Amino acid sequence: MAMNKVEICGVDTSTLPVLTNERMRELFPLVHGGDLNAREEFIRGNLRLVLSVIQRFSNRGESVDDLFQVGCIGLIKALDNFDVTQNVRFSTYAVPMIIGEIRRYLRDNNAIRVSRSMRDTAYKALRARDQLAERLGREPNVTELAEELHLPREDVVFALEAIQDPVSLFEPVYNDGGDALYLMDQITDEKKPDNNWLDVIGVHEAMNHLTDREKHILTLRFFQGRTQMEVAGEIGISQAQVSRLEKNALSHMRKHVGSRG
């Protein structure tokens, strides 16, 4: 998919404006008050955000024009649903909305078609999951979902997997303007410590050069398979801080191990 074209859907992307955060704050009350001119200015001023998102899907062989139009729908939905009272940047809120809209489009237009019955089963399972979570006070497992739906466990698993779009482990899930938090940072590793990639020659020696806090974070993350959110809760700091400390510690370890070679 060629991403270097200047004109997309009749829009000259080289001339697109970029709104400042201050101008967006000025426009929000006007847009939500029904001012069409303000709405047009806001959307046009954020089209570059859509362009940056669709580049993530450049290897799908899809039409740039089609993805741009779908991305614009996501942008408009984000604008209509954005809560200005929350301390969140519009771009932080809008990017997942745009990505979600594009993924739905790609899923629905995928050459690998999911049968209607399997799709219906998946959506019933999703609804049942929400109902069970509210009733149980926790996320239900697949067995509980299958019992709730009176279906074989395998049918529920296959149906839910069929509607999932593959996601990169390096997909950013949050960015507050600093270090991004990636999907891989949210995944628990339940492998035994002796099978973990950190348990290699020289690692323990390299860890001796870290602070006690850095050692504790790496032990929880890679030897005990905790998520960053779990580590943050245990030691009483934010997930973003855990992410930064983890990256710095691993960087120091790599330098030390490299110097030994």
Sequence-separated contacts (24+) of 211-218 with Cβ below 8 Å:
213/245, 214/245, 214/248, 214/249, 214/252, 215/249, 217/242, 217/245, 217/246, 217/249, 218/246, 218/249, 218/250
pLDDT digits (tens, 9 = 90+) for 66-92: 888 898 999 999 888 888 887 788 888
pLDDT exceeds 60 at position 166? no
For residue 227, give Cα distances in angstroms to 93, 104, 172, 239: 23, 28, 15, 9
Angle between helices 36-44 and 21-32 (to 10 degrees): 140
Tell me the C-alpha distance between 131 and 180, whole Å.
Answer: 32
pTM attached to this predicted model: 0.43
Q: Which amino acid is located at 203 in the chain?
A: V
pLDDT interval class at 137 (50, 70, 90): confident
pLDDT exceeds 70 at position 190? no
pLDDT interval class at 259 (50, 70, 90): low
Q: Answer whether 93's CB lies under 8 Å from 78's CB.
A: yes
pLDDT interval class at 184 (50, 70, 90): low
For residue 146, give Cα distances in angstroms to 92, 101, 159, 186: 36, 29, 11, 26
pLDDT for the residue 199:
44
Mean pLDDT of 182-208: 54
